[in-house]
């Protein structure tokens, strides 16, 4: 399977704990995006990377959230001191952008479902 993969698929944690999610994009894709989706809503943009550079962050990304993409390949999203309101599906997507060619097609992974108790 050469699509976007995410790990873990499900995470249950207690309020106040830290959690980290991983995303592996499609191998040739240099852009990577994180979104959050709550029940009955569409995904909401959190942040995106081009290669290892984090180029845009939403105001939804509070200081408890941090994302990294250290080598321009996989990415991690960490949530510190989780709150019940953080319960959601965290989706990762990737796309390809290079000089002269920009793909606006974002391909999503299966998501990590976080439950904070």
Partner 1 sequence: QKEVEQDPGPLSVPEGAIVSLNCTYSNSAFQYFMWYRQYSRKGPELLMYTYSSGNKEDGRFTAQVDKSSKYISLFIRDSQPSDSATYLCAMSRSARQLTFGSGTQLTVLP
| Contact stretch for partner 1 (CB under 8 A) within 11-19, 28-36, 60-68, 69-77 | 28-36
Choosing from 13, 20, 58, 76, the residue that interacts with partner 1 (CB under 8 A) is 58
Least Å from the CB of residue 16 to partner 1: 26
Choosing from 1, 28, 63, 105, the residue that interacts with partner 1 (CB under 8 A) is 105
51: left (phi over 0), alpha (psi -120 to 50) or beta: left
Choosing from 43, 67, 69, 116, the residue that interacts with partner 1 (CB under 8 A) is 43
**Residue 59 CB contacts under 8 Å (≥ 6 apart), including other chains:** none
- How many of the other CB atoms lie within 10 Å of CB of 81? 10
Question: What is the spatial distance between Cα 35 and Cα 46, in angstroms, rounded to a whole number?
Answer: 5
Q: Which residues contribute to the site for partner 1 (CB under 8 A)?
A: 4, 31, 33, 35, 40-45, 48, 55-56, 58, 91, 95, 97, 102-111, 113
């Amino acid at each position: 399977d050469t699509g976007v993969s995410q790990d873990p698929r499900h995470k249950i944690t207690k309020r106040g704990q830290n959690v980290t999610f991983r995303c592996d994009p499609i191998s040739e894709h240099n852009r990577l995006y994180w979104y959050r989706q709550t029940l009955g809503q569409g995904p909401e943009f959190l942040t995106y990377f081009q290669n290892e550079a984090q180029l845009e962050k939403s105001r939804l990304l509070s200081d408890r959230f941090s994302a990294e993409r250290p080598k321009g390949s996989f990415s991690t999203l960490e949530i510190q001191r989780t709150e019940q309101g953080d319960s959601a599906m965290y989706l990762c997507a990737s796309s390809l952008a290079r000089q002269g060619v920009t793909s606006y097609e974002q391909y999503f992974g299966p998501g990590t479902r976080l439950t904070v108790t």
